[in-house]
Amino acid sequence: MDKKSMVADLAALVTAESPSSDLGAVDACADVVADIGERHLGSAPERIRIDGRQHLRWSFGAEPKVMLLGHFDTVWPLGTLAELPWSVTDNIATGPGVFDMKAGIVQLFHALASLPSLDGVVVLLNSDEEIGSPTSRALIEEQARQVDAVLVLEAAADGAVKTARKGMSLYCVDIEGRAAHAGLEPERGVNAVVELAHQIQAVVELADPAAGTSVVPSVISGGTTTNTVAAQAQLWCDVRMWSAKEQERIDRSIRALTPALAESRISVSGGPNRGPLESASSEKLYFLAHQVSSESGLGMLRDCAVGGASDGNFTAAVGTPTLDGLGAVGGGAHAATEHVEIDQMIPRATLLAGLVTRILEGGL
């Protein structure tokens, strides 16, 4: 593997801005990803368009065994390069999306290019991860069911792979009251904002800090004018948890919410978005990766659990062993300090190549 070639590929990807919301920009970046992938893997990808959005897949051999999963969309709006330009200084590369997760894609291609055979390998790169993977989720889950293992090229956490991720659920609680004049006859109204206050307290009490379960009221709205008893209100809740059991508990509880005020009505929409990536799903793969790291002279491979979700949550939820955080070493995801340590790209690609080899050989 060659560092100069890696940096050139990374420059091409980072300068192809790809905010999730801009389909034209995402398509243009997909072309860059496809060209780099074809150059290293020897074949063009299958271009899968779902609801107008493009995803890329490479498949090798008749029997898929391992899927390498990543995304090329970013959170950065078009034009960010003018403020946060691509640069490399003293081993540090910067630019929008460099860490999350374009360096991981570069490492993926270079790792696979170093292998004598790719039979059994599937590469799936989607373009909507940063907005919840609405068009690619079914594709990811379907492909995950066909392989023995999934390796996710999301960025590492201070060099550590991610052996557990919290699941997440998102709920909207709509509240209906009855309008009335706030000065003349407030008693004739049913105040949806007051009901909202009760429901906020009810959902907050569902949290279990000891179990790592958070229930966060994140967005609220209600009422129309200052002199009207509010007839409508709305509450959004972000829920995170380590286990499927906790996700199910919260789901049952939120759907069982009841009004505190007579004659008010509530309805709940939303639900689980990503199941947890539990440590049991990654245990064997982490052990194998640790062996590869040690035998390759890369040292001890650390692991960690993180609160954020990724597409690896989807693959773990369908029962496929999944190891996340195999991508770049650096920091500042979604922040102006986003950066990648260039000198760590070859070691991480070496680790990935070794891990893929072991899985193809039946190491799981």
Residue 134: φ, ψ to 5°: -65, -35
Residue 325's nearest CA partner among 99, 156, 163 is 156
Tell me the mean pLDDT in the region 132-139: 96
Tell me the mean pLDDT in the region 158-178: 96
As a whole-number percent, the residues of the chain with pLDDT over 90 amount to: 98
CA gap 359, 46 in Å, rounded: 23
List, in sequence order, every beta strand (DSSP E) within the chain. Answer: 46-50, 53-59, 66-71, 87-89, 92-94, 121-126, 149-152, 161-165, 167-176, 214-222, 232-241, 265-274, 303-306, 322-323, 330-331, 339-341
Active-site hit among 73, 100, 278, 324 = 73
Q: Which CATH topology does 167-274 take?
A: Alpha-Beta Plaits (3.30.70)
Is the model's pLDDT at 70 over the cut of 80? yes
Q: Which residue has the higher pLDDT, 311 or 364?
A: 311
For residue 176, list its beta bridge partners: 232, 265
Q: What pLDDT shows up at residue 364?
A: 79
CB of 293 within 8 A of CB of 300?
yes
Tell me whether residue 129 is one of the annotated catalytic residues: yes
Token pair, residue 68, equals 């390498």
Is the model's pLDDT at 55 over the cut of 90? yes
**Mean pLDDT over each residue of the chain, to the nearest integer:** 96
Is the model's pLDDT at 363 over the cut of 80? no
**How many CB atoms are located within 10 Å of the residue 160 CB?**
15
Q: Where are the domains of the chain?
A: 3-165+276-360, 167-274
As a whole-number percent, the residues of the chain with pLDDT over 70 amount to: 100
Active-site hit among 100, 128, 129, 148 = 129
Query: β-strand 232-241 against 214-222: which pairing, if any?
Result: antiparallel
Is the model's pLDDT at 221 over the cut of 90? yes
Q: What pLDDT shows up at residue 26?
A: 97
Task: Tell me how many helices (H) and strands (E) the chain has.
Answer: 9, 16
Tell me whether residue 148 is one of the annotated catalytic residues: no
Is the model's pLDDT at 81 over the cut of 90? yes
CA gap 360, 297 in Å, rounded: 21
- CATH of segment(s) 3-165+276-360: 3.40.630.10
Tell me the mean pLDDT in the region 85-105: 96
Question: Predicted confidence band at 361 (pLDDT cuts at 50, 70, 90)?
Answer: very high
Question: Tokens 């979604």 sit at which residue?
Answer: 334
∠ at Cα 322 (320, 325), nearest 5°? Answer: 160
Tell me the mean pLDDT in the region 159-170: 96
Q: What pLDDT shows up at residue 202?
A: 97
Tell me the mean pLDDT in the region 200-225: 97
3-165+276-360 and 167-274 in the same fold: no
Q: What pLDDT shows up at residue 65?
A: 97
CA gap 119, 104 in Å, rounded: 21
